[in-house]
Copies of this chain bind each other. A is one copy, B any other.
Amino acid sequence: MSTRVTISEVAKLAGVHPGTVSRALNKKTENQVNVDTVRRVRDAAKRLGYSPNSIARGLRTSSSMTVGVIIPDLTNPIFPPIVRGIDNYLLPRGYSTVVVNTDGSDANERQLFESLVQRQVDGFIFATGHTGQSIVHEAYERGIRGVMVNRDSGGVPYPAVVGDDSQGIRASVEHLAQLGHRRLVHLEGPASFSTSRVRAASFLSSCAEFGLSGTVALCGSYSVDEGQRVMDAVLAERSSQPTAVVAGNDLLALGVYHSLRTHGLRCPEDMSVVGFNDMPFSGDFQPPMTTVRVPQAELGTESARLLLRQIEDADRSAVRVVLPVELIVRASTARVHQA
Contact = CB atoms under 8 A, between A and B. Distances in A.
Contacts of A56: 59
A54 interface: yes
Contacts of A28: none
Contact of A55 (B98, B120, B257): B120
Nearest to A98: B96
A324 interface: no
Interface residues of A, number: 51
A254 interface: yes
Nearest to A258: B284
A1 B285 contact: no
A100 interface: yes
A118 B53 contact: yes
Interface string A71-91: 001110101110110010001
Interface string A54-78: 1110110010101000000111010
Contacts of A285: 281, 284-286
A238 interface: no
Interface in A36-56: 51-56
A77 B81 CA distance: 11
Interface of A: 1-2, 51-56, 58-59, 62, 64, 66, 73-75, 77, 79-81, 83-84, 87, 91, 96-101, 112, 114-120, 142-145, 254, 257, 280-281, 284-288
